[in-house]
Amino acid sequence: MGSNQCKVIESIDIASFDDLAVREYLIDLANDNPDSFEDYEDHKVIGRPYGPIRTNRKRSPNLWLSPWGLLITSEEIKIPGSYQDRLFRKRFRLPYALFVKFVKEAKQYNIFEEARSGKIAVEFKIMIGLRILGRDNCADDLSEYLNIGESAIAPIFKQFVDGCVKYLYSKYVYIPEGEELKQV
């Protein structure tokens, strides 16, 4: 028996254990007693070597209960200049009234090209696009805020940009002329 094993046995003898069975197993393991591994042999894992298949997957989160969902469904946000309205503008670089108009047009033109209603509402897809553009957030940040996978956020942003360019760019981006040019 090596000096390290002696130290282990001495520390086991000195240590206080509430359970004598635990103490006996530790002494058997330190003494290389093959009978101490009997229970281990009975509980072999059959199947996948790195764990069982997850069968109880969580459903997707209710985004309307997220901080963003609660923000856009609050009654106070509809009052121009209110705290909620200013908070929305600060976070998404867009007044809430313009956001509502944007959502209506996005649904009208179907900028996300959905054949059916997806799991993520158009409002949240637009907020994801605005947050990435306006605040330079990455997919990891948004995944943390909304509990949506990062792999879902990248295609949403791509659809947002493509849809806005395809349907809304010509309507809102133009060279000002006449009175508008003087105001700029």
Q: Based on the domain organization, do 33 and 113 belong to the same domain?
A: no
Domain ranges, residue 122? 63-171
Q: Based on the domain organization, do 163 and 97 belong to the same domain?
A: yes
107-163 pLDDT, tens digit per residue, is 999 998 876 667 889 999 999 999 999 888 999 989 888 888 888 899 999 999 999
Total domain count, the chain: 2
In a domain, 55, yes or no: no
56-89 pLDDT, tens digit per residue, is 656 667 888 889 999 999 999 999 999 999 999 9
Q: Based on the domain organization, do 98 and 19 belong to the same domain?
A: no
Average pLDDT over residues 31-36: 63
In three state form, how does the secondary structure of 117-162 look? CCCCCHHHHHHHHHHHHHHCCCHHHHHHHHCCCHHHHHHHHHHHHH
pLDDT attached to residue 11? 55
Q: Based on the domain organization, do 68 and 157 belong to the same domain?
A: yes
pLDDT attached to residue 118? 73
